[in-house]
């Protein structure tokens, strides 16, 4: 069941708390390179004017299915010939996942004798189309609101979580990259009707958002995973389910790599190759 929307009030959530994963230092304060952040206007308005939405893939099943679709989107930074090093990628979820009590073999449980819960084990996958792999499993999770102080409004008020992934990812300018957020499917169902769903990824309609929506194309992406392994990517227009198109909200932080640095790297590699050839010649 693709595109399960939190705005339809399918799930029941708990109160939000702020926390970060123990032992993680604050994310590096690198420049913002790509800004498709949360909307700043038309938040939680009537359907025709509403800018914010969130999407997940849900399955009515007796157990978590081995194959499911993780939500995501894509981005392009800069122009061809440029290169960037990303060290933080920020997305937002509308979930109680970071604070649900779970089986002992999963994170998110309350430590014995402790009132602190650890974040759910989110992971970020990404790469060039057709070459998706894990980018990071190191995430700092914190409760946030929209700029007007509101949380996410569906059939009830749901907490929003900012998920800051620490990454070490070098990307080429002008090149399309895809990203997806994944976590163990959580059972939101009750009784004899279990509903397993992926994290709900916050998205917005670009025209109604009021904030910079770089790289929007009115399409959302889904990554099919089988036993945790990426299989294929499909694009989807939420207009059929929501009445409006939407793109996942995301911000990318990092630094441009100077061309001279790249040339220096190539030069050093060339010197190493030359020395190796000379050594081989000496041995001949």
Summarize pLDDT for 228-255 with one digit per residue, the tens.
Answer: 999 999 999 999 999 999 999 999 999 9
DSSP string, 57-124: -EEE-SS--SEEEEEEEEE--S-TT-EEEEEEEEEEE--SGGG----TTSSSPBPTT---BPPP--EE
Give exposure, 16-31, as e/b (b: 16+ Cβ within 10 Å): beebbbeeeeebeeee
Nearest to 146 by CA among 134, 136, 159, 155: 159
CB 249 within 8 A of CB 37: yes
Confidence band, pLDDT 50/70/90 cuts, at residue 189: confident
Nearest to 13 by CA among 161, 211, 217, 206: 161
Which residues have C-beta within 8 Å of that of residue 278, sequence separation ≥ 6?
none
How far, in Å, CA of 2 to CA of 58, rounded?
7
Tokens of 25: 């230092």
Q: Which tens digits make up the pLDDT trace of 68-81?
A: 999 999 999 999 99
Consecutive H or E run containing 135: strand 133-136
pLDDT > 80? residue 267: no
Greater pLDDT, 244 or 100 = 244
Confidence band, pLDDT 50/70/90 cuts, at residue 47: confident
CB 75 within 8 A of CB 90: no
CB 159 within 8 A of CB 96: yes
State the pLDDT at residue 95.
77
CB 198 within 8 A of CB 123: no
């Amino acid at each position: 069941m693709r595109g399960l929307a939190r705005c339809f009030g399918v799930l029941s959530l708990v109160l939000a708390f702020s926390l970060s994963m123990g032992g993680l230092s604050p994310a590096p304060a690198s420049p913002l390179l790509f800004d498709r952040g949360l909307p700043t206007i038309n938040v939680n308005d009537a359907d025709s004017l509403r800018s914010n939405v969130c999407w997940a893939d849900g399955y009515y099943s007796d157990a978590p299915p081995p194959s499911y679709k993780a939500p995501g989107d894509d981005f392009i930074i800069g122009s061809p010939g440029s290169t960037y090093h990303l060290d933080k990628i920020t997305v937002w979820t509308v979930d109680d996942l970071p604070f649900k009590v779970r089986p002992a073999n999963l994170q998110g449980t309350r430590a014995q004798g402790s009132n602190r819960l650890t974040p759910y084990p989110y992971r970020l996958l990404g790469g060039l189309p057709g070459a998706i792999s894990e980018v990071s499993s190191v995430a700092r999770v914190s409760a946030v609101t929209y700029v007007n102080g509101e949380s996410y409004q569906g059939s009830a008020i749901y907490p929003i979580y900012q998920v800051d992934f620490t990454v070490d990812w070098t990307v080429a300018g002008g090149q399309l990259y895809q990203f997806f957020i994944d976590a163990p499917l959580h059972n939101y169902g009750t009784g004899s009707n279990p509903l397993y769903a992926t994290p709900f990824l916050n998205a917005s309609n670009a025209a109604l958002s009021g904030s910079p929506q770089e790289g929007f194309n009115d399409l959302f992406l889904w990554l099919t995973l089988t036993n945790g392994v990426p299989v294929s990517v499909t694009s989807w227009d939420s207009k059929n389910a929501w009445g409006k198109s939407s793109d996942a909200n995301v911000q990318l932080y990092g630094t441009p790599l100077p061309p001279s640095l790249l040339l220096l790297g190539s030069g050093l590699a060339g010197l190493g190759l030359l020395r190796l050839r000379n050594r081989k010649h000496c041995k001949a």
